[in-house]
């Protein structure tokens, strides 16, 4: 077992089985042995690849979306340009470069990043060059002020709780330790149905449902900032538009799925995002939501095909092939286009943000 596995086993011996959420939070964020605290996991040589690492087009279009929203807000100077879980800083760097198209946008932007990984903070600093950047541990720590925020594959990394329906009601799935290995078991106590989405409380026996207080808390904190100070946010992630049953917890190492209990701290752990729950959390805080729409629809509305065409004009044949492959990967229904969804959270419903036209 890994050092983190031994640590988790010791915690379970002392305190009993732990909810999946505590296992996930520890595996990803433990200060000494956590997955995100000990490595840069992105890219072809890492464990997974994300949209901004596939192509500059992704960050550029999002930068233009932010610039348009800034203008719609009345071009406040200064304003907070925030990113949650910025990875290597690639998306923000591409967004700021594209944002130069709108005079005043870059100068007015104060960049604030929410990031737990010290290693990725270093990568972000180098991606953003001499730009002044402020880092925070939590969304709730972002400063007051008009805010435009982006989050790509941030919410899927926040811990989830899982419940399974038995004959007598819902039981929480826990991580225990047996015969020298971590294992999954069900808490014998019955869970009151109140915290579970109303639409799935009548699911059949054996069904698994996931909820994430960590995600709804982060979303509520973000929406509160937007409602209090004005602004908007763009949330991009893989998941479903409506709450549904299913076990979506997955572990990934070197671009392959692995057993999530096998090597805690060495594999990325994620679960699909329930956009219905996220949207409800934002609306409860008084914000308005648009979407979710599919990534295909969002990027097409923002003009990704035209941007690819412009880039290809000055590209070599090999570069043009790479651009076409990236366009396909980002927008094809069988690639990232359908599974990935985009939702916007706004302080008001004055106007519909770009990318969310009803098509």
Ligand X SMILES: C[S@@+](CC[C@H](N)C(=O)[O-])C[C@H]1O[C@@H](n2cnc3c(N)ncnc32)[C@H](O)[C@@H]1O
Query: Could you list the residues that contact ligand X (CB under 6 A)?
Result: 28-29, 36, 42, 50, 52-53, 85-87, 91, 114-117, 120, 152-154, 157-158
CB nearer to ligand X: pick between 9 and 109:
109
Length of the chain measured in residues: 359
Indicate the residue among 200 and 251 with the shorter CB distance to ligand X: 251
Nearer to ligand X, 45 or 71 (CB): 45
CB of 152 to ligand X, least distance (A): 4
To ligand X, the closest distance from the beta carbon of 246 in angstroms equals: 20
- Of 196 and 234, CB closest to ligand X: 234
CB of residue 55 to ligand X, shortest distance in Å: 12
Question: Least Å distance between CB 241 and ligand X?
Answer: 20
Nearer to ligand X, 36 or 260 (CB): 36
Q: How far is the CB of 41 from ligand X (least distance, A)?
A: 7
* Cβ 119 to ligand X shortest distance, Å: 8
Nearest residue (beta carbon) to ligand X: 85
For ligand X, give the closer residue by CB, 214 or 263.
Answer: 214
C-alpha to C-alpha distances, 316 to 58, 304, 326, nearest whole angstrom: 20, 19, 15
């Amino acid at each position: 077992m890994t050092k983190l596995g031994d640590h988790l086993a010791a915690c379970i011996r002392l305190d009993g089985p732990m909810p999946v959420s505590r296992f996930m939070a520890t595996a990803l964020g433990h200060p000494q042995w956590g997955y995100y605290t000990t490595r840069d996991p992105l890219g072809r040589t890492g464990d997974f690849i994300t949209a901004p690492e596939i192509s500059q087009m992704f960050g550029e279009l999002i930068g233009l979306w932010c610039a348009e929203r800034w203008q719609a807000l009345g071009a406040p100077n200064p304003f907070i340009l925030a990113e949650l879980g910025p990875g290597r800083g690639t998306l923000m760097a591409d967004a700021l470069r594209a944002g130069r198209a709108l005079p005043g946008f870059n100068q007015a932007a104060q960049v604030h990043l929410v990031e737990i990984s010290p290693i990725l903070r270093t990568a972000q600093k180098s991606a953003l060059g001499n730009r002044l950047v402020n880092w925070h541990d939590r969304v709730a720590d972002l400063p007051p002020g008009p805010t435009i925020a982006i989050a790509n594959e941030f919410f899927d990394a926040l811990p989830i709780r899982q419940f399974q329906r038995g004959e007598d009601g819902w039981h929480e799935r826990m991580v225990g330790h047996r015969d020298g290995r971590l294992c999954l078991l069900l808490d014998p106590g019955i869970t009151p149905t109140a915290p579970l989405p109303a639409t799935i409380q009548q699911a059949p026996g054996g069904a698994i449902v996931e909820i994430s207080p960590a995600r709804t808390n982060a979303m509520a904190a973000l929406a509160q900032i937007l409602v209090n100070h004005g602004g908007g946010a763009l949330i991009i992630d893989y998941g479903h538009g409506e709450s549904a049953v299913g076990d979506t917890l997955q572990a990934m190492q070197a671009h392959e799925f692995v057993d999530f209990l096998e090597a805690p701290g060495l594999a990325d752990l994620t679960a699909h995002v329930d956009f219905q729950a996220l949207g409800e959390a934002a609306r409860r805080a008084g914000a308005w939501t648009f979407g979710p729409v599919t990534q295909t629809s969002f990027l097409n509305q923002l003009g990704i095909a035209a941007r690819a065409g412009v880039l290809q004009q000055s590209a070599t044949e090999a570069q043009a092939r790479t651009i076409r492959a990236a366009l396909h990967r980002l927008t094809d229904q069988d690639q990232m286009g359908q599974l990935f969804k985009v939702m916007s959270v706004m302080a008001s419903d004055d106007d519909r943000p770009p990318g969310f036209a009803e098509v």
